[in-house]
Structure 1
Amino acid sequence: MPRVRPATPPLPATALLQLMWLASPALPVGGFSYSEALEAAVDQGLVTDEASAGRWLLDQLHLGLQRADLPLLASAMHAWQRRDAERLTALNDWALQTRETFEMRQQTEQMGRSLADWLRQRHPSDDRLPLLAALQPSPTWPIAFALAATATGAPRRESLLAFGFGWAENQVGAAVKSVPLGQSAGQRLLGALAQALPAAVDAALATATAGDAARQNLAPMLAILSARHEAQYSRLFRS
């Protein structure tokens, strides 16, 4: 007889709501203020309409998030559960060292610090907060989010889905403002990203299981556009 996989226990309501909170653009970390080079792609004529915006965002999901920050988040959650300061320092260093432009590094540091401040207000008794504060020169966004997700008690897969959906909402918002696009187009883009996210998360978990050598953050054209955005004459988004 074929083996029957046991049913996954339902996510407790409190953990689900905490993940929804972490994924919300209303979380005071400033994710909405970065376009992650999308604004430069618009300026260069690479993204001009809904179709090209959709291709751009799906490429960033599969070539960037899936291969870098999502597996990094999964590894960091495991390290937070073990309170492994050495491992967390190594993962945070990797996040900083693989940001290829000043604005990419500034984004991950600023959002990481902001989430660390939020966590100190929300969970002041969490004895892992000193480990987060000790990361130099600052905690990065994926490492800080990993602690926040671990504190909810949610499994890694659901935590990665929340992280990915928060990224998707912010990037769709950037596309709506910079292309520009209408709200209906934005919802269609968000729907396409939501449909692609589960497979991307499963691939990221497999990468995390394969070890650090399988994780990568290499997107040369994105780095070039990000560098151009730093000096772009007119900008809506931070650099």
Structure 2
Amino acid sequence: MNNLALTRLLQLCNPNLPIGGFSFSQGLESAIEKGWVTNPTDLNEWVSTMLFESLGNTDLPLLAHQRNAIQSNNYEQFEKNEQLICATRETSEILMAEQAMGTAMLRLLKNLKGVNHTESPLWLTEFNKLSFISSFAIASHHFQLDIDTTLTGYAWTFVDFQIAAAVKLIPLGQTDGQNLLFEIAKKIPDCVTQSQSVQWDCIGQSLPGLAIASSWHEQQYSRLFRS
């Protein structure tokens, strides 16, 4: 990776990117409230399971398909992929988080002066709302990141958001959080490799615990996160 691509990746995965990722726990807040996740060991298991069973089988393969659709200017396939992305979100909260972050990313790209808005204009002009996966694919295309870097960056962003949420919710010390981030990050390359062997008709997930936690969160009495 050249230095410019590295800086673009760091910008795309920066927790300060104004997409609202810090507002969503993806069901983790309910899991902690119910006592499912109470310590670093539980959190490692929760995030690792999400990484391989959700991202590895669903999000990352779909992200790769969206990149391919963009690079081949296949607008019809892009829309088809977007519909599948939304269908794989198991609760209204998780779908809301996916679309809120994606739409914020899309809005940022439309206003980012360094982005070439004349290249593949449909991706930036025809949508007012998109999933985070699709918007991340658009950003990585315009930032000229290769597919391995794109998938790795997306997985890192997910893990980083989960650890940041857990530091506030369990709560964890900052050092414990960094140790977990260091440990779980070692699993990302295997997750990316796994995702690249998933065929189109095998994309999907079944995480009933996550769906239940997210559904409970919609009516949780006291909460810090939107999902």
Tell me the CA shift for residue 205 of structure 1: 1.4
Separation in structure 2 between the aligned mates of residue 148 and residue 218 of structure 1, nearest angstrom: 28
Contact 2:98–2:132 (Cα < 8 Å) also in 1? yes
User: Among 215, 235, 238, which residue is 2:203 paired with?
Assistant: 215
Partner residue, 2:142 = 151
Equivalent residue number for residue 125 of structure 1? 117
Deviations 1:109-131 (A, max 9, x none): 11111001111112262443433
Q: CA RMSD in A?
A: 1.3
Contiguous gaps of at least 5 residues in structure 1: 1-10
Cα distance in structure 2, aligned partners of 1:96 and 1:139:
9
Aligned length: 225
Quote the residue 1:110 is aligned against: 100
TM-score scaled by structure 2?
0.95
Identity of aligned residues (%): 33
Alpha-carbon shift at residue 133 of structure 1 (Å): 4.4
Q: Give the whole-Å Cα distance in 1 for the aligned partners of 2:47 and 2:72.
A: 34
TM-score norm. by structure 1 comes to 0.90
1:188 Cα deviation after fit: 1.2
Contact 2:110 2:124 in 1 (8 A): no
Q: What's the secondary structure of 1:92's corresponding residue?
A: helix
1:6-155 mapped onto 2 (5 Å cutoff): 11-122=1-112, 123=115, 125-135=117-127, 138-155=129-146
CA distance in 1, matches of 2:221, 2:173: 25
- Deviation (angstroms), 1:196: 0.2
- Compare 126-135 and 70-79 and name the one that shifted more: 126-135
Following superposition, the deviation at residue 135 of structure 1 comes to 4.4
1:186 and 2:177 matched: yes
Which one of the candidate residues 113, 136, 153 is aligned to 1:162? 153
CA distance in 2, matches of 1:143, 1:103: 18
8 A Cα contact 1:58 1:193, kept in partner? yes
Distance 1:129 1:202 in 2: 31
For 2:17 and 2:61, the matched residues in 1 are separated by 22
Q: Please, which runs of 5 or more residues in structure 2 have no aligned partner? A: none
Highest CA radius of gyration, 1 or 2?
1
